[in-house]
Amino acid sequence: MLRKWLALIVVVILGAAWWNITTPDRPVAAIVAADSLECPVPYPIGQRSADPLARVPDDFVPTAAITCSPHLSETVAADRSVGYLERRWEGDFSRSIELLNRHSEHPAWFESSCDTSTYLLADLERFWLLDDHGRAVRAGFPVDSCGLPKPGGLAEIMTLTQASTTEHRIVLADQQIEDMYSCSAVYRPPNAGIGRPTGLSTGTTFCRFDSTTFDGTTSSDMPVQFDSLSFAPDCPSSASTVVTAQFSDDTYSRRQLTIELDGCHRVIPDGYAPLQASAALLASFS
């Protein structure tokens, strides 16, 4: 019986040793022409893609790297275009390659031990490495035991010298603006009602209109404090410049909030009585 236990212990020890000295294979990244690569349009307008796993070839010596912003700009222009950035980095890539070419870990024995709920796939920048011969490799990341990328190599690249920045722009459809920025690019007059709103929640991005023409998005760093605003008096003036955003109330329905930047300077949540905008709120849009 003792021999069986000893044999079992030996098997476990040898298995653990094999587990530690062997690592999952990672493919070698293909070397391609540098001008064949370009920054993709960020998600959700562009497609979401999985992070590559390939490592940098041993004989590839990078002198620069390109990183691509994973997000669109927070501001939409009047022509409905929005930008995203391509940045070029230069310097010593030895540490970056060391981190990019690390071994991946074996998958966890118990998937329940992995918490991936806080990991955002779209947050990692797409990137590739360039050499002095017009060639490039789109390397990837080693992964941990939960299958999540280890982005240390990318972080190291972004500590190098930023040599240049290029902005790319795309034009969004009206529905895309509404979905991403929570305001409508199509003017709709306010629909006032009665009573003071309660439990309202608004974002910080608004669509701006000159008369009824979309003039891009704007942001306010000051939340709309509905409880602190007084009811607006009757006012015959018409506003020529307004900002609008979507809001949700305690009934969880989504409606439009209109803030008049001139004219009567009212805050009008659809379905509720107009309120008088404070000077501080108006100044936050200037």
- pLDDT tens, 63-101? 999 999 999 999 999 999 999 999 999 999 999 999 999
Owning domain of residue 40: 24-108+120-171
Shared-domain flag, residues 53 and 187? no
Shared-domain flag, residues 133 and 182? no
Does residue 14 belong to any structural domain of this protein?
Answer: no
What is the model's pLDDT at position 32?
97
Would you say residue 263 has pLDDT above 50? Answer: yes
Would you say residue 187 has pLDDT above 80? Answer: yes
Among 13-27, 158-172, 221-235, the range with the most confident prediction by mean pLDDT is 158-172
**How far is Cα 225 from Cα 183, in angstroms, rounded to an integer?**
19
Does residue 13 belong to any structural domain of this protein?
Answer: no
Q: What is the distance in angstroms between the CA of the first residue and the CA of the last residue of the chain?
A: 84
What is the model's pLDDT at position 116?
61
What is the model's pLDDT at position 238?
92
| Residue 53: other Cβ atoms inside 10 A | 17
Does residue 53 belong to any structural domain of this protein?
Answer: yes
Residue 211 sits at the vertex; the CA angle it makes with 209 and 212, to the nearest 5 degrees, is 70
Shared-domain flag, residues 30 and 144? yes
Shared-domain flag, residues 204 and 132? no
What is the model's pLDDT at position 221?
83
Residue 22 has which token pair? 């062997």
Does residue 17 belong to any structural domain of this protein?
Answer: no
- Name which of 47-56, 105-114, 161-170 the model is least confident about: 105-114
Average pLDDT over residues 37-52: 88
- Whether the CA torsion 99, 104, 109, 114 is positive or negative: it is positive
Average pLDDT over residues 209-228: 91
Does residue 38 belong to any structural domain of this protein?
Answer: yes
pLDDT band per the 50, 70, 90 thresholds, residue 118: low
Number of domains in the chain: 2
What is the model's pLDDT at position 18?
40
SS (H, E, C) the chain: CHHHHHHHHHHHHHHHHHHHHCCCCCCECCEEEHHHCCCCCCCCCCCCCCCCCCECCCCCCCCEEEEECCCCCCCCCCCCEEEEEEEEEECCCHHHHHHHCCCCCCCCCCHHHCCCCCCCHHHCCEEEEECCCCEEECCCCCECCCCCECCHHHHHHCCCEEEEEEEEEEECCHHHHHHHHCCCCCCCCCCCCCCCCCCCEECCEEEEEECCEEEEEEECCCCCCHHHCCECCCCCCCCCEEEEEEEECCCCCEEEEEEECCCCCEEEECCCCCEECCHHHHHCCC
Does residue 115 belong to any structural domain of this protein?
Answer: no
Would you say residue 14 has pLDDT above 50? Answer: no
What is the model's pLDDT at position 258?
97
**How far is Cα 220 from Cα 281, in angstroms, rounded to an integer?**
8
**How far is Cα 278 from Cα 266, in angstroms, rounded to an integer?**
9
pLDDT band per the 50, 70, 90 thresholds, residue 228: confident
Does residue 50 belong to any structural domain of this protein?
Answer: yes
Does residue 189 belong to any structural domain of this protein?
Answer: yes
Shared-domain flag, residues 147 and 202? no
* Nearest alpha carbon to residue 272 among 224, 219, 239, 206: 224
